[in-house]
Amino acid sequence: MQIYTLFSGSSGNCVYIKDRGTELLIDAGKSAGAIEKSLTALNSSLSNIDAIFLTHEHADHTVGLEIISKKYRIPVHITAPSYDRMVSPTSSLCACAWRREVHYSTRIGSLTVTSFEIPHDSMQNVGYIIENEEGEKFGVATDMGHITEEILSYLSGCHYAIIESNHDTGMVKSGPYPYFLKQRILSDRGHLCNEECSRLAIFLAERGTRALTLAHLSRENNTPDKALSVTRQALDTAGFFSVELNVASPIITTCVHK
Ligand SMILES: [Zn+2]
Ligand SMILES: [Zn+2]
């Protein structure tokens, strides 16, 4: 299984997964043109994508979907509350979208995709576990207001995972954002801070995770160095020196696993 973050953060999110002949996207939070350009650089194309799995309806995860649906007619899997918010009868998405329950599992080519719920201030938000026929298990969980038992139990045993390390709490508190936005980010339906991310990283490392990508970093309230050093230090202190750690760039394709 090859996994790339094409884009990550509040300016757009998209993860690309390739396993044998099967190619998937999680989210399409950039223009169709930008996503196509990134896929071309990886010798692929939107016309090769077998399915798109949406986490939630926020624009940083969905902005390219209307044009992609119109041009490529790729099946898009969306949980019901997000579907009801974003899919209108006149939308091109209407012909491609699958309205899903919060917990579902489906097989696409060589991959099995399973959803789980993540608390966030959207109509609904899900993460995904993706497994191939060789037993490789990959998980993605971002836009996490807080870590729940459900998140821990689904991500447990993933060989690779993309997890959110959104902000440094001190930077949010002392930063220029208006009070309501600070409250939103820090609430238990907002985003995950570096410290909570590092606790999740240790939990996963204890259960066999070998590589982690820190994702959905805030441009204003975090830096890649801060995010990396908090989680690296926590992993090293707990003895997990060999767990690979990298940061997803907002605009540059990052390979998390090959
Ligand atoms: Zn969101
Ligand atoms: Zn987001």
pLDDT in tens, 58-101: 999 999 999 999 999 999 999 999 999 999 999 999 999 999 99
Tell me the DSSP string of 191-211. --BHHHHHHHHHHHHHTT--E
Closest ligand to 56 CA? 1
Architecture of domain 2-257: 4-Layer Sandwich (3.60)
> Which residues touch 237 (CB under 8 Å, ≥6 apart)?
none
Cα angle 71, 50, 46 (rounded to 5 degrees) comes to 40
What's the chain's length in residues?
258
Which two three-digit tokens encode residue 131?
Answer: 């497994």
Closest ligand to 10 CA? 2
Closest ligand to 184 CA? 1
Whole-number pLDDT of residue 253: 73
For the chain, which residues make up each domain, given as ranges?
2-257
pLDDT of residue 243 exceeding 90: yes
Which two three-digit tokens encode residue 112?
Answer: 């099995």
pLDDT of residue 257 exceeding 70: no
Ligand 1 midpoint to CA 61 (Å): 7
Across residues 4-30, what is the average pLDDT?
96
Whole-number pLDDT of residue 74: 98
**CB-side neighbour CA atoms (13 Å) of 112:** 10
- pLDDT (tens digit, 9 = 90+) per residue, 109-157? 999 999 999 999 999 999 999 999 999 999 999 999 999 999 999 999 9
Which two three-digit tokens encode residue 119?
Answer: 């608390």
Give the Cα separation of 5 and 104 in Å (integer).
23
Ligand 2 midpoint to CA 29 (Å): 9
- pLDDT (tens digit, 9 = 90+) per residue, 157-211? 999 999 999 999 999 999 999 999 999 999 999 999 999 999 999 999 999 999 9
Ligand 1 midpoint to CA 114 (Å): 20
